[in-house]
Each structure stands twice: as structure tokens, then as C-alpha cells.
Amino acid sequence: MVTTMKIVEIDIKMPYEKRGKILTKVLGKLRGKIKDIHFLPPTSKGISEIRIEVTEENVPELLTHLKNMVKEGKITFKVLSEA
């Protein structure tokens, strides 16, 4: 069985006050897989947005772990390419 690496953009929206604590966990999980990361300024409602590009073989498993970490936020993703 051949596994393919995918480059995935993960978009995380969460409350600004909880960003540091959640990011520590998320970045620990993604260590070594991150290709690019963008921190967008918080909105007027206090929602912070982070866009992370990662290389991953098992995208559904990764998203399950991230959704368990980011309970008070929203995670969306899109596959940018397959290698």
C-alpha cells in the first residue's frame, strides 16, 4: 500500500484569550510537519485566526486530534496538493 503525503491548510478560529494555551498543544502535535503559519489579528469580537500549512499522510486522524484540542473554536481545512 502506497501512502501519499498531502499538503493541507488548516484554518483555526478561536477566542483570542485562549490562543496561547491551545497553540502550545497544537504546535506540539504538528512539530516537524509545519510548512507555513500565519497569525491574523483578532476581530472586533475577539476571535483570532491562524492558518497553518502542514504535510500529513493521515489527514482525518490529524483533524480528529486537533478538534479534540480546540474545543472552543472552529477548524476548517483544505487539501492544497498531494505528493
pLDDT in tens, 34-55: 999 999 999 999 999 999 999 9
- Give residue 78's pLDDT band: very low, low, confident or very high (50, 70, 90): very high
Contact 11, 60 (CB under 8 A): no
- Give residue 70's pLDDT band: very low, low, confident or very high (50, 70, 90): confident
Contact 17, 73 (CB under 8 A): no
Tell me the residue length of the chain.
83
- What average pLDDT does the segment 21-28 reach? 88
Question: How many CB atoms are located within 10 Å of the residue 14 CB?
Answer: 23
Q: What is the largest CA-CA distance in the chain?
A: 48
